[in-house]
Structure 1
Amino acid sequence: MLTLLGTAGAGELHADEARAEPARRIVSLSPHITEMLFAIGAGPQVIAVDEASDYPVAVTPLPKVANYRSLNLEQILALQPDLIVAWRSAQHLQVQPLIHLGIPVAYSEPLRLRDLADELEYLGELSGHRQQARAQARHYLQQLEALERHYRDARPVSVFYQLGSTPLMSANEGTWVGQAIRLCGGTNIMAASTAPYPQLNAELVLARDPEVILASSDEELALWRRWPSLQAVQKARLLTVDADLLHRFTPRTPEGIRQLCRQLELARAE
C-alpha cells in the first residue's frame, strides 16, 4: 500500500497527509509506479523515471535517473522535483538523502492484489487526478472480481512458476504471482515456501511433478525437456506468460492474470 509508517524524515509523506497543491514535477523510481501515474492521467507531470520503466511509450524520452541498484541523486536534484514516488522495500535507504533535503517522498508497496486500487487513488490525491484515479481503481477491481467469480470453482491444477533459470527460482503464495495462481484455481507447488522468491533445484520440481510449468519464455522452459517423464512435458504443458503483465503490479495486471488462467484451462480441458 502507499503508506508511510515509522519515524518519518522531514520530506516523507504519510498516507493521511494532504498536500496543499498537487505535485507538478514527479519522479517515479519503479516501473509499476510509472504505469499507475500514466494510467490516472498524471503522465504529463512525470519528469523522470527509472531505467526499467518502458510503458507506456510516452516514457521513452524521459530522463532515466535510477536503476535497481542506485539513484542518480545529482540528476534528480537538478530536475527540481516536488514529489518522488519510490518502491519502499527496494529504495527506502536510497531515497534518504532526498528526504533529508526536504523533497517529499511517497512509497509504493502493494502486497495484495486488491492493494492496487488503494494505490491508484492515493496517487490521484497526490497528483490532483482524483476522479480518473477512482475510475481506474473501480475498473481494476471490477476485472479482479470478475476473474475471482469465474474461477472460484475451477478444478485445481498443480503449477510450477519458474522465475529465471540461473539460479532457478519461483514464487510463494504471498507474492503477486502466487496470488494470481490461486485466483486461477492453481495449486502452486512452492506456495508454502518461507521465502517469497525461493531458490530451488530441479529435483524438487521433479519430485512434485506439476501438471503445468509456466515461465516467461520458451528458452527458460527448455530446461524441463531433459526430463520427459514429467507430466508437464508429456502433455505439452510447458507454457509461457507475459512477465510484464504479471511481474509488474499495474492496472494491466488483470490481463496478465487472465492470460495465466487461460493457460491453466488448457490442462483442465484434457
Structure 2
Amino acid sequence: MCSKSTGAAIVALCTSMVGAFVALAVSAQQAETPANPHAEILSIGSAVTEIVAALGQEHRLKARDTTSTHPPSVQDLPDVGYMRALSPEGVLSVGPSLIIAGEGAGPPEALDVIRAADVAFVEVPDALTTDGILHKIDIVGDALGVPEQADALAAKVNAEMQAAMEDARRPDADKKRVLFVLSTQGGRINASGTGTAADAIIRMAGGVNAISDFEGYKQVTDEAIGTAAPDVILMMDRTGDHAADDDALFAMPAIRLTPAAQDRAVVRMDGLLLLGFGPRTATGIRQLNAALYGTDS
C-alpha cells in the first residue's frame, strides 16, 4: 500500500505503477472493442445483425448466423450455423476480421478456440430494457468505428421506445393476462416465467405475464396453467415441431378451460420482432399492444 510516510521515492514508484495499470486497462478495453471502420464482419445473433444494418454497415457483413434473418437481404450471406451450436471451423472459414456475437453464443469450448484465433471478437450482452438496447447499439457502433451513427441510432430508438411504451400504458385493472408459450412439443407446454424477453415485452406492451412464480422458461403443469388463467396465449409465428395450430392448441387439456380458450384468443408474432430486443423492439411493442387490445399499431 502507498502512503505519505513511505517517502517521495516510494510515492513516485506507486504513481508509476498506477499509471502503468491504467494504461494496461485502457489497452485491454480497446482490445475487447476494436474500432475498425474497415473490418469485415461476422455477425452472430439476430439483434446484433439488425444493429449492424441499422447503422448503415450491412455492406461490411461477410457472414451471419442462422438466427440472423432481418433485414431479408442478409439471408444471401453465408450462414455459419445456429448461434448456440457454432463450430470454430465454420466460423473461421468465412475469414472475418471482426466477430460480433450476442451473449449466449457458443458452446463455450468453441468460443475458446475462436477467441484464440487472430480475429477481433466482441460480445454484446443481452438486454431486456430500453437502456440495454441502447447499450447494445453503443457496443456495436464502437466496435465498427462508427460512434456518431450509433449515437444517432440510439437517440432514435430511445424516442421510439418511450413513445411506444407510453402509448401502451393501461390501468392495472384493464391489463390482460398473457401466457407466452415457447413450445407445445410432445403435448407439454413450455412457458415463460419472469426475467425473460417474453416477460419484458408483455409488460412493455401493457399486459401482465400470467406466470410469475418462476424465472426463465420451463415446462408447466396443467394445474399451473389453470391457476394462471391467461386471457391470451402468445406464441412465435413459426412452423415445425414447436408449432401448434389453433385447434390443437385450444384442445390441449392444460389450455382448454382457460379464458383464452373460451375466446380462442391467441397472438402469433415474428419471434425476432417479439423477443430480439434490438432496433425494432418499439414496433414489436406496438404490434403486440394492438393485438391484445385492438388498438392501432
User: TM-score under structure 1 normalisation?
Assistant: 0.83
Q: Using the alignment, how far apart are the partners of 1:263 and 1:163 within structure 2? A: 18
In the alignment, which residue of structure 2 is the partner of 1:126? 143
- How much has 1:92 moved relative to structure 2? 6.3
Q: Using the alignment, how far apart are the partners of 2:164 and 2:44 within structure 1? A: 30
Q: 1:116 aligns with which of 133, 151, 159?
A: 133
1:143 aligns with 2:160: yes
1:152 aligns with 2:169: yes
1:247 aligns with 2:262: no
Higher percent of residues as helix? 2
Q: Give the residue type in structure 2 aligned to 1:104.
A: A
CA offset digits 1:189-235 (Å, max 9, x no partner): 223313x1122133321232211122234835432245654221222
User: TM-score under structure 2 normalisation?
Assistant: 0.76
1:210 aligns with 2:230: yes
Larger Rg: 2
Cα distance change, pair 16–97 in 1 and its aligned pair in 2 (3 A): closer
Q: Using the alignment, how far apart are the partners of 2:99 and 2:292 within structure 1? A: 39
Q: 2:285 aligns with which of 221, 246, 257?
A: 257
Q: 1:224 aligns with which of 234, 250, 269?
A: 250
Q: How many residues align?
A: 255
1:161 aligns with 2:176: no
In the alignment, which residue of structure 1 is the partner of 2:66? 51
Counterparts of 1:67-146 in structure 2, within 5 Å, are 67-91=82-106, 93=108, 94-114=110-130, 115-146=132-163
- How much has 1:13 moved relative to structure 2? 7.0
Q: Using the alignment, how far apart are the partners of 1:83 and 1:143 within structure 2? A: 30
Instruction: Name the SS of the counterpart of 2:219 in structure 1.
Output: coil
- How much has 1:91 moved relative to structure 2? 2.0
Is the CA contact (8 Å cut-off) linking 2:202 and 2:209 kept in structure 1? yes
CA offset digits 1:5-25 (Å, max 9, x no partner): xxxxxxx97479663633511
1:31 aligns with 2:46: yes
CA offset digits 1:149-190 (Å, max 9, x no partner): 223343222111111111421222321221111122322122
1:188 aligns with 2:209: yes
Is the CA contact (8 Å cut-off) linking 2:138 and 2:151 kept in structure 1? yes
Instruction: Name the SS of the counterpart of 2:220 in structure 1.
Output: coil
Is the CA contact (8 Å cut-off) linking 2:103 and 2:126 kept in structure 1? no
Is the CA contact (8 Å cut-off) linking 1:165 and 1:220 kept in structure 2? no
Specify every segment of 5 or more residues in structure 1 that has no aligned partner in the other structure, as ranges. 1-11
- How much has 1:49 moved relative to structure 2? 0.9
Query: What's the Cα RMSD here?
Result: 2.6
Specify every segment of 5 or more residues in structure 2 that has no aligned partner in the other structure, as ranges. 1-26, 238-242
Q: Using the alignment, how far apart are the partners of 2:86 and 2:236 within structure 1? A: 28
